[in-house]
């Protein structure tokens, strides 16, 4: 082939090479590497570099060409915008879509349901088991007074303000963000009407949540909440101790599940057998119905209640009536056994 012929063919050769390269990059970036749509979870720790991300994606069969993916990311400016976290991809996704998810931080959200009556330790344990936090770290953050002040909470801990509900949390989400989400949900639910009712009744927010948490822990049958609230409000009005077992339990470090007479005699800020008035603070995070029960209690002169061992309680107005109920539902059953 002479020089003239080569010169004429050079543009064609260059065009062919360019077309081949363009086709290669198009396939590498916009054509899925496979057809398997099974989910593949990939977690990127904070601080991981873009090339390492691409390497992980290549190892998991989610991209075809490592270098093409890295080059594409650099041209798009993605190397600084991709976000760490847990993602769900599959081999039937084009790499360009994978990159888009990384840029926009479309991480996997885990459904977390906080039951009514869970305390901070329960919530921390749940999040720990779901690998969304570490138990001790969460408790420490929920007890950080400076942080709580930014949320408008004037208390030693966030207990009572972590509203029981269903949330969507992602791995890598900070404890502060999760706590904030629960507190903001409480503020959404605790409407102006309820706040005005609380002020009219002369109950502070902390006092309301403290009593509502006791009602929450004492209630087995939902319909009994307003009556149980009335019992405790009557006892507070008369200067009687609340004598609530759940408050005593809350004040015991590493409670083993067996409440003893010694426990009932031990002085703690939460032992409502030894101290009159409310415990030092909420003993759990109450749901909206327990909060409403305190603000809109059932009318009546009840001062006592005892479990009927079926999830409900027998309510009494006098000590003598209560003692008979205790014998009927508690003592007599033990003797038969």
DSSP string, 96-138: HHHHHHHHHT----EEEE--TT--HHHHHHHHHHTTSS-HHHH
Q: Which domains does the chain have, with CATH numbers?
A: 11-104 (3.30.1490.480), 110-189 (no CATH), 200-302 (no CATH)
What is the average pLDDT across 30-44?
89
* pLDDT tens, residue by residue, 241-291: 999 999 999 999 889 889 999 999 999 999 999 999 999 999 999 999 999
| Digit-coded pLDDT (tens) for 164-205 | 999 999 998 999 999 999 999 999 999 889 999 999 999 999
Instruction: Give the residue ranges of DSSP H helices in the chain.
Output: 3-30, 50-59, 66-76, 95-104, 120-129, 135-141, 145-150, 175-189, 192-200, 205-218, 225-238, 245-250, 261-265, 288-295, 319-326, 332-336
Distance (Å, rounded) from C-alpha 136 to C-alpha 316?
A: 42
The answer to whether the CB of 302 falls within 8 A of the CB of 291 is no
CB 198 within 8 A of CB 205: yes
- Give residue 87's pLDDT: 96
User: How high is the pLDDT of residue 17?
Assistant: 63
* Long-range CB contacts for residues 186-192, cutoff 8 Å, separation at least 24: 186/161, 186/162, 189/163, 189/288, 190/288, 190/291
The long-range contacts involving 149-152, CB below 8 angstroms and separated by at least 24 positions, are 151/179, 151/180, 151/183
The predicted structure's pLDDT at residue 336: 45
What local confidence, expressed as pLDDT, does residue 35 receive? 86
Across the chain, mean pLDDT equals: 91
SS3 80: helix
Residue 90 pLDDT class (50, 70, 90 cuts): very high
Which tokens go with 90? 């599959």
Determine the pLDDT at residue 274.
95
Percent of the chain with pLDDT over 70: 90
pLDDT confidence of residue 75: 87
CA 32 from centroid of its chain's CA atoms: 36
Flag whether pLDDT at 77 surpasses 60. Answer: yes
Decide if 209 contacts 283 (C-beta within 8 A): no
Residue 166 three-state SS: strand
pLDDT-derived band at 79 (thresholds 50, 70, 90) equals: confident
Whether the predicted pLDDT of 34 surpasses 90: no
- Please state, as a whole number, how many other Cβ atoms lie within 10 Å of the Cβ of residue 319: 10
């Amino acid at each position: 082939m002479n020089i003239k012929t080569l010169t004429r063919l050079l543009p064609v050769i260059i065009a062919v090479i360019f077309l081949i390269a363009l086709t290669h990059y198009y396939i590498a970036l916009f054509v899925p590497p496979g057809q398997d749509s099974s989910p593949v979870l990939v977690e990127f720790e904070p601080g991981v570099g873009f090339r390492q991300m691409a390497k992980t994606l290549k190892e998991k069969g989610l991209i075809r060409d490592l270098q093409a993916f890295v080059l594409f990311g650099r041209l798009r400016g993605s190397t600084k915008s991709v976000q760490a976290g847990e993602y769900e991809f599959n081999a039937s996704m084009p790499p360009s879509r994978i990159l888009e998810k990384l840029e926009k931080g479309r991480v996997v959200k885990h459904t977390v349901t906080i039951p009514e009556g869970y305390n901070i330790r329960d919530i921390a344990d749940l999040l720990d088991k779901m690998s969304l936090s570490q138990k001790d770290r969460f408790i420490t953050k929920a007890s950080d007074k400076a942080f709580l002040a930014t949320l408008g909470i004037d208390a030693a801990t966030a207990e009572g303000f972590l509203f029981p509900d269903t949330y969507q949390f992602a791995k890598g989400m900070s404890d502060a963000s999760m706590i904030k989400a629960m507190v903001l949900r409480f503020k959404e639910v605790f409407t102006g009407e309820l706040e005005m009712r609380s002020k009219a009744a002369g109950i502070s927010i902390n006092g309301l949540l403290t009593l509502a948490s006791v009602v929450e822990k004492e209630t087995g049958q939902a319909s009994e909440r307003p009556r149980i609230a009335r019992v405790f409000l009557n006892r507070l009005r008369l200067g009687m101790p609340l004598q609530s077992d759940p408050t005593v339990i809350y004040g015991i470090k590493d409670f083993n599940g067996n409440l003893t007479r010694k426990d009932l005699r031990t002085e703690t800020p939460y032992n409502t057998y030894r101290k009159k008035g409310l415990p030092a603070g909420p003993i759990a995070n109450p749901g909206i119905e327990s909060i409403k029960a305190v603000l809109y209690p059932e009318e009546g002169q009840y001062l006592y209640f005892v479990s009927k061992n079926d999830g409900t309680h027998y309510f009494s107005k006098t000590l003598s009536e209560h003692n008979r109920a205790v014998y009927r539902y508690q003592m007599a059953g033990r003797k038969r056994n």
